[in-house]
Amino acid sequence: MDRVRRILRIVLRIGLGLIGALFLYLSVTFVQVWMASRRDEARPSDAIIVLGAAEYDGRPSPVLAARLDHAIDLYRDGIAPVIVVTGGRQPGDRFTEAGASADYLHKHAVPDTAILRETTGRTSWESLEAAARFLTDKHMERVVLVSDPYHSERIKAIAHEVGLDAVTSPTRTSPIKGSSAFKRMLGETLRVAAGRVFGYARLDRHRSVVKLVPGLATL
């Protein structure tokens, strides 16, 4: 009986130690995600990449428009000569996110020669991996990533994983604020934590893991 109790105590200590280590890992990751959301690292680059978001029948959603507005400001400031718009067609859509983004840029006087389109991606990984392929073919590897602040840490890590020399410059005019932004930051903490352990490419290939552990999606 004493032996069983000792074994149970050991198992309990190991379990508590693992829970403590996991909590510490997630806490550190959350701080890193939060700190990345506060930084604007924009510097002269080959291209500005705008991560896609929802579009409504060819019109960028307010979230996507905020990202595009920031990219336009960077372009006009001479940060890069090219804007890469990303995002494919979601189920039921008539237009791609990239197409809606390109039209928006045209309406804001960005010439077509300064716009490159990635029209197949449905996740951050897919979009950045596809963009990296055609950018590296053009010897354009130095990029500035534009998205919402909470997204910065993960997309920068993905960009490095696909071979881009990337920094982030998040929009500050996104409609996602307050408690909604905080919830998304918690979700990003899980995604970044999982991506560092398993690799972002592997998580993207096995998105069914979301059914088992909500929050690990790479969308």
Within 10 A of 165 (CB to CB), how many other CB atoms are there?
12
Please give the model's pTM, rounded to 2 decimal places: 0.89
C-beta separation of 131 from 115 below 8 A: no
Residue 95 has pLDDT above 50, yes or no: yes
What are the residue ranges of helices labelled H in the chain?
2-38, 62-76, 97-107, 124-137, 152-161, 178-198, 200-205
Report the topology of domain 40-168. Rossmann fold (3.40.50)
64-81 pLDDT, tens digit per residue, is 999 999 999 999 999 999
Domain positions in the chain: 2-37+178-211, 40-168
